[in-house]
Structure 1
Amino acid sequence: MKIAVVNWRDPWHPQAGGAETFAWEMARRFAGSGHHVCFVTARAPGQRGRDVADGVRIVRMGGVFTVYPLVLAWLLVRRGRFDAVLDCQNGIPFFTPWVLRRRTRVLCVVHHVHDRQFGVHMPGWLAAFGRFLEGPVSRWSYRRHESVAVSPSTVLAMRERLGWRGPVHIVPNGVSIAQPANVVKSREPRLVCLGRLVAHKRVGLLLDAVAELRERRPGLVVDIIGRGPEEAALRARLPEGVTLHGYVSEEDKARLVARAWLHVSASQGEGWGLSVLEAAALGVPTVAFDVDGLRDAVRPGETGWLLPEGPEGPEGTDLAKGIAAALDELDHTYIVNCRDWADHFSWDRGAERLTALMLGHDPGPGWEER
């Protein structure tokens, strides 16, 4: 097949996250199976407009908002070239059915519903417009096409909050993280927080909890790994015992995570929580809020702990007490369970499932049916 994978960013973009990992892992596997793949995305400052990696042709154009009309124009000119298009929705999809032939198979990939996050990142009028595009406009635009979600939480949110009516198939994230050699668990209690530093990840809640945690366990330290627009503000208020590493290599990331006792996510919601799987693959359980995506990635009592949010949000839940209770309960069975859970997930199986859908075949029982 000739396949276009359309995603807001590529994995080398400074603001890349889990959605970019998903899109790229699929694209490179499609190419490895002999398909002709073009990855169409935005262009960050300093990036080349054209590139090739892992057999995938990369085309970059436009910025945060201009990428949408430019990609549509690019596809319109080439509307007869592609057999299938993976249209990845990062809050707002690309609306590729508007410019493609009806017989081109389009799969809309939804990681999580962004309606609540628009208000965190945008002024009120723009947030309302984003919700309109994500909801009624997307629902109408993809009504004749099948969709893909990465978790049961996302399917439920699509049905209940977006009114999505068409078929939705689940293709979860896989796991690809280095396995460092000779890493010994930290002697002192060590937490790690892994992910992009953006407002809805709420890393500040973890910083607020550190002082109380260190009162109970004076040697406790925290490693924060990631980059993003919130980095400067977080760095300016780091409490004692916390190191913000920013961007690190894959090897260093794996080494830091593997040394930790617990991985902590204070996120407002995820499509899945790729960082949870990466930590689990290294034998590190997660403490998170009981929110979309994370309630799928964490198995309470086996691979981590889910903290209920109070009526007024995370402020109604004592994150420090939740982490302290997890540290008290932590034992070796969590490490074993985490590794077993991570072994369930494979990028190869995800790519096989998406390929079947693009060919119009029944992909068979999915993760949610195992």
Structure 2
Amino acid sequence: MNIAIVNWRDPWHPAAGGAEVYAWELARRFAVGGDRVWFVTARSPGQAREEIVEGVRLVRMGGPFTVYPLVLLWMLCRRGQFDVVFDCQNGIPFFTPLVAGRGTRVLCVVHHVHDRQFAVHLPWWLAALGRFLEGPVSRWAYRGRESVAVSPSTVHAMRERLGWRGPIHLVPNGVSDRLRAPRERAARSPRPRLVCVGRLVAHKRVELLLEAVPELRKRWPDLVVDVVGRGPEEARLRTAATDGVVLHGYLSEEDKERLVSAAWLQVNTSQGEGWGLCVLEAAALGVPTVAYDVDGLRDAVRPGETGWLVPEGGDLAKGIAAAIDELTVAADTYSVKCREWAARFSWDRSTARLSALIRRPPTALAVLQWEEL
């Protein structure tokens, strides 16, 4: 099949995150399976306009905002060329149904609903425009089309906050084969060590973790917090960092794995996620997560088994302290449960679910449910 995956960024973009991992892992597997795959995305300075990587044709154009009209023009010039288009929504989708050929199947891929996050990143008028495009305009443009969501939280938000009425299929994130490979748990740090992995952007709220550190160090003076990632909030967070906090910036996958494996806990302070890929990756290494009870993270974390959920607005330091206390007597149990949970997810399985969607007539499809996992 001829497949176009349209995504805001590619995995090599400086601002890439979990959505880019999702799109790329699926793209490369479709290519391995014999499909002809185009990955259409924005172009960061220094990136090639076109190249082929692992059998996938990368086509890059435009910046954060201009990529949308340029991709639509590119698709219009190739109207009818594609059998399937995966239109990935990162705040707003690309509205490819407006230019796709009559025989082209378009599936909107939604990681999470952004309505509450637009105001965190944008001036009020642009945030209002974003909510209008994500809500009423998207609902009209994709009416009658199938969608793909990565978690039950996303399905609920699409129904309740965006008024989405078409079929929504659940296709979750996977875990890399490297992390899924059987291995001995790396030696855990002898002193309490926390890790926070992700893009350093406003809605991740990493400052909430930094604010909790002085309180935690009253009980554990040698406690260390490792922050891994880069982004526009990095300079501000470095200024706010106290004793015991180390901001590593970008790390290779191998170095990141080594740091996460040594941690007692991962902490995720995000305002909301589609899923929280870093939670699943930490679980694959046997590391549980403390997170707020918000969209996506309440799906990725299984309280009492793979981590703990703190009520939104609750005392994060208190929640982390309770988790550390429990791990002093049950660390091995949590490690085993984390690995068992992560083992249920793979990119191969996610690709197989999507492949089943696009190779059968829409009328023959049953909506894929979370319970099928």
When the two structures are superposed, what TM-score results if normalisation uses the length of structure 1? 0.96
Which residue does 1:294 correspond to in 2?
297
Give the letter aligned to residue 27 of structure 2. A
Of 234, 240, 245, 2:243 maps to 240
- Alpha-carbon distance in 1 for matches of 2:303, 2:75: 44
- Alpha-carbon distance in 1 for matches of 2:245, 2:129: 38
- List alignment gaps of at least 5 residues for structure 1: none
1:206 aligns with 2:212: no
Which residue does 2:96 correspond to in 1?
96
Q: Determine helix, strand or coil for the equivalent of 1:191.
A: strand
1:369 aligns with 2:372: yes
The 8 Å contact of residues 177 and 250 in structure 1, kept in 2 or not, is answered as no
- Alpha-carbon distance in 2 for matches of 1:301, 1:356: 34
Of 314, 318, 334, 2:315 maps to 318
Deviations 1:15-59 (A, max 9, x none): 000000000000000000000000000000111101111100000
- Alpha-carbon distance in 2 for matches of 1:216, 1:70: 55
Which residue does 1:328 correspond to in 2?
325
- Alpha-carbon distance in 2 for matches of 1:242, 1:178: 28
Map 1:24-63; keep pairs closer than 5 Å.
Answer: 24-63=24-63
The 8 Å contact of residues 185 and 286 in structure 2, kept in 1 or not, is answered as no
The Cα of 1:355 is off from its aligned counterpart by 1.3
- Alpha-carbon distance in 1 for matches of 2:338, 2:134: 34
Which residue does 1:345 correspond to in 2?
345
Of 258, 282, 285, 2:285 maps to 282
- Alpha-carbon distance in 1 for matches of 2:212, 2:54: 42
- Alpha-carbon distance in 1 for matches of 2:46, 2:310: 41
Which residue does 1:134 correspond to in 2?
134
The 8 Å contact of residues 357 and 363 in structure 1, kept in 2 or not, is answered as no
Name which of structure 1's ranges 352-361 and 71-80 shifts more when overlaid on structure 2: 352-361
The Cα of 1:181 is off from its aligned counterpart by 7.2
Give the letter aligned to residue 73 of structure 2. A
Give the letter aligned to residue 322 of structure 2. A
The Cα of 1:62 is off from its aligned counterpart by 0.1
Runs of 4+ in 1 over 6 A off after TM superposition: none
The Cα of 1:359 is off from its aligned counterpart by 1.9
Q: Determine helix, strand or coil for the equivalent of 2:240.
A: coil
- Alpha-carbon distance in 2 for matches of 1:365, 1:80: 28
Map 1:121-200; keep pairs closer than 5 Å.
Answer: 121-176=121-176, 178-179=178-179, 183-200=186-203
Map 1:60-75; keep pairs closer than 5 Å.
Answer: 60-75=60-75
Give the letter aligned to residue 41 of structure 2. T
Task: Indicate the RMSD between aligned Cα atoms, in angstroms.
Answer: 1.3
1:360 aligns with 2:360: yes
- Alpha-carbon distance in 2 for matches of 1:360, 1:294: 32
Question: Per the alignment, do residues 321 and 177 of structure 1 end up closer, same or farther by CA in structure 2, a change over 3 Å counting?
Answer: farther
Of 221, 224, 227, 2:227 maps to 224
Give the letter aligned to residue 6 of structure 1. V
Q: Determine helix, strand or coil for the equivalent of 2:117.
A: helix
The 8 Å contact of residues 146 and 168 in structure 1, kept in 2 or not, is answered as yes
The Cα of 1:168 is off from its aligned counterpart by 0.1
- List alignment gaps of at least 5 residues for structure 2: none
Seq. identity, %: 72
Question: Per the alignment, do residues 182 and 152 of structure 1 end up closer, same or farther by CA in structure 2, a change over 3 Å counting?
Answer: closer
Count of matched residue pairs: 364
The Cα of 1:268 is off from its aligned counterpart by 0.2
Question: Per the alignment, do residues 29 and 366 of structure 1 end up closer, same or farther by CA in structure 2, a change over 3 Å counting?
Answer: farther
Question: Per the alignment, do residues 2 and 270 of structure 1 end up closer, same or farther by CA in structure 2, a change over 3 Å counting?
Answer: same
- Alpha-carbon distance in 1 for matches of 2:26, 2:12: 16
Give the letter aligned to residue 13 of structure 1. H
The Cα of 1:103 is off from its aligned counterpart by 1.7
Which residue does 2:118 correspond to in 1?
118
Q: Determine helix, strand or coil for the equivalent of 1:350.
A: helix
Give the letter aligned to residue 74 of structure 1. W
Of 246, 268, 272, 1:269 maps to 272
